[in-house]
Amino acid sequence: MQQKPILLAPLDPVHDIGLKIMKRSLDEAGFETILLPPDYKAGEIINTAMGNDVDTILISRTLGYGVADLLANFVDLAEAAGIRDKVKLAIGGMAVRPELAAELGFDAGFGPGTKPEELLAFIENKEYVPDKSSAVKEKSNLTEGYTYQYKHQGMERMLDQIVDSIMNWAEGKTSPAVKRAAIREKMLINQGEAENLELLSQYLGYSDEMVQDFYNDRKIPDKCRPLGQDEIDSLERYVEATKERMSAQKLQHVKDNPVVFIQYGTGCPFMDIAHIKTSEAWGADGAVHFDPSWAARTEGFLSGYLTHEQDGSIITLENLAQTKKHLQPSTIWQVRAHRGLNTPETVLLAGHLGADMTKINIVYGSLGAGTDPERMTVDAIAAIKYAAKFGMPFDIVTNEELCGVPAHKAFAGMLIVNHLARRLGASTVLQPLFCYSPEMMINGGMDDNYIDFNAAKIMALRQVIDAPIWPGAPIGFLTQDEDRVQSAMTTALHASLAASLNVDAISIASSDEAYSGGPIIASSRIDTLRATKEAFRFFGSAGIQPTVKAEEMVSTLVSGIEQVLQNVLDKGCFVQALYDGILGSKEDGAYPGRSGRGTITIE
Amino acid sequence: MSAVFKNVMDAIDIETFLVCSSESEGKELAIRMVKDMGIQDADIVFIQYQGPGARVRVRGYVHKPGANYGWLNSKT
Ligand code: B12
């Protein structure tokens, strides 16, 4: 333990908070300290040092004006007084750059954001080793602790009947996607070349021409480019070097929830990885893979490392494996499967590669994303079975709300898919939209604020069932504009509301989400991650209070859901209900998809 | 073009306030500023014009997804 006292002196007319923080930690560590008030001249500080026989002088300077001259003068006076060689001399504060301190002959310089441990290490002549224990993140399991028990028994009974009828309807039905997935399953375990070729030819029998041409004639689809081995090698080097230097921040402040997902799909798996690493470093807990819309309308997957200049990154076994390989161990990885002609196989690949989650919703897939309802239902059942087999939960995203479908209809659809999933042994996460929904834009229900309706949705779901909730996707959708500050701000506010409602997860957009002129960029991702972190810090365990209107909205939503479920029951067939607009009509903005129509066969 | 641009992950956003007399002038100036830096792929992300001038966020893409990224090969 140091014997002589440490002198702390602000070389500044007023600013001394930083220095007082340092004093407190020195005192706590058992050092004897002397703190001078602000506005002392250099000579006075040096006299005090000599008079008290100190062996360490810590100066603080906040104001930038004239800082170099002032500090140089201080060192000169210390030398003239003959104490420079007898004391340790350090300077800290907002105006201090370590380079400047070194140049002027200080033993150390501590700039903005200094941690007391850094100073302690300096005083004790130790090397400062940042404590990374707080940065060691654990992977969260969103479904843990939920019972999926219904609090609304009437709905449970209706859902039981609806799911019975879906299972009856689907009995014996199959699709090209289901067949391909079964073939792929064999390919994934099969090693023999001849057998694999045979399996591939079977696979191509259920694929589109574009996919056949790719395998048979190496015809690369328009705008696609295979990535070369040299590129793959340099990516490896880049990621390895990045990983070594990396420590991940935590966004949450006092609570563990909500975990924060980012969505990626730049078109290029390499850029995806670069964005994911950046997002992880700035605190993202999870990443959601977005595939291109053309791929959702194509029967069959391509293979190899492929990039293209379009939105969404191409799903191939190799592309996904490459991404997965480079994730932090704590990152929750989700591969979306919810909407296209490759749903079962996507879930299979995701599960095979060790993805943590997938995304399936029959209703959105068929009413908002262009896939034929009959096809989507058959495919989704197969997909859900794979999800169950891999123990991989999936969320049920109600994006049809973005098309204009009212929340109560979308929620009825979500609950049906949820019930079906539970029947098939899978775990789910409910994903209501948390945004300025088109339904409300049109009917004015959110004219006063963005809080009540979003809060009401969460409260309504909780009145129905005990299940995890992950609002998205992303939060604040349709409230963001192209301005960086505005969009980071609205994301942070929605994140605060989500945290205040104690939901399990959120997906956030970047601060260029609303810009449609080009790809999203890394620095814009950091904007919203930082904004979200600040929002969590601001609210801590405090919360946001909805108005009384939210309560009214809750009961309207719950009775609305009930009514829609009854309508589906009255229809007698869930798939027919999809075609007939009961879960979202053409007037609402939902159109039964045509992709994959007529492809269902009976086994 | 600055050699440092090879380290830009994807794009640079310049946010500034341009003294100008209309939104279209602000746009034109902002785009020119980015092109003058040697980045051809320039676009306005956000602009808000009021009397004193325009608040702009103008973007120049250095590496678009699928391109050859300078930072992948760079030793730094
Ligand atoms: C609080 C504050 C004040 C308080 C100071 C109260 C006090 N007792 O300290 C008051 C209101 C008095 C004040 C006044 C002024 N202030 Co003032 N103030 C600030 C403010 C808001 C925060 C500074 C602060 O304390 N930060 C918190 C501490 C914890 O951070 P920190 O000092 O950086 O300390 C950390 C590190 O630097 C380091 N550290 C600091 N010292 C040391 C020492 C050692 C040994 C070590 C190891 C580490 C270390 O560790 C700390 C923890 O990480 C800043 C703006 C801002 N938002 O940051 C302006 C700011 C510093 N003030 C500024 C100015 C200009 C003034 C005035 C001169 C304005 C004026 N013309 O009236 C007046 C002073 C007038 C006068 N009488 O001379 C400017 C400085 C600009 C510049 N270019 O220098 C700032 C940046 C605001 C601005 N942007 O204009 N201010």
Q: Which domains does chain A have, with CATH numbers?
A: 6-135 (3.40.50.280)
Residue A140's nearest CA partner among A255, A242, A272, A239 is A255
Q: ipTM strictly over 0.85?
A: yes
The residues near A191 (Cβ < 8 Å, ≥ 6 apart) are none
Of how many residues is chain B composed?
76
* Topology given in CATH for the domain delimited by B3-64: Defensin A-like (3.30.30)
CB-based contact A463:A554 (threshold 8 Å) = yes
Quick: pLDDT tens for A338-388.
Answer: 888 999 999 999 999 999 999 999 999 999 999 999 999 999 999 999 999
Average pLDDT, chain A: 94
Per-residue tens of pLDDT for chain B, all 76 residues: 789 999 999 999 999 999 999 999 999 999 999 999 999 999 999 999 999 999 999 999 999 998 889 998 754 4
pLDDT digits (tens, 9 = 90+) for A521-541: 999 999 999 999 999 999 999
pTM: 0.90
The residue ranges of DSSP E strands in A182-223, in sequence order, are: none
Which pLDDT score is estimated for A135? Answer: 62
8 Å CB contact of B46 and A484: yes
Q: Is A89 in the pocket of ligand 1 (CB under 6 A)?
A: no
Interface test with B, best of A233, A239, A271 (most B CBs within 10 A): A271
CB A453 within 8 A of CB A551: no
- Closest approach of A307 to chain B, Cα-based (Å): 6
Atom of ligand 1 nearest to the CA of A67: 84
Taking CB atoms and an 8 Å limit, are B65 and A271 in contact across chains? yes
- Residues ≥6 apart with Cβ < 8 Å to A322: A232, A235, A269, A273, A305
Q: Which residue has the tokens 């004897």?
A: A32
Q: What is the pLDDT of residue B76?
A: 41
Is the distance from CB of A502 to CB of A470 less than 8 angstroms?
Answer: no
Best probe of the A interface among B72, B74, B75, B76, by most A CBs < 10 A, is: B72
* Cis previous bond, A112, omega within 30: no
Instruction: Considering only the beta carbons, identify the residue of B11, B55, B69 that sits closest to A270.
Output: B69
Q: Do B66 and A225 touch (CB under 8 A)?
A: yes
Query: Is A56 touching ligand 1 by the criterion CB < 6 Å?
Result: no
Position A171 pLDDT exceeds 90? yes
Residue A205: the pLDDT is: 98
Tell me which chain A residues have a C-beta less than 8 angstroms from the C-beta of B65.
266-268, 271, 307, 309, 519
Q: Are A151 and A464 a contacting pair, CB within 8 Å? A: yes
**pLDDT value at position A134?**
60
CB A35 near ligand 1, within 6 Å:
no
Atom of ligand 1 nearest to the CA of A18: 34
| Residues of B within an 8 Å Cβ radius of A | 9-11, 13, 15, 41, 43-46, 48, 55, 57, 59, 61, 63-66, 68-69, 71-73
Nearest CA owner, ligand 1 atom 17: A15
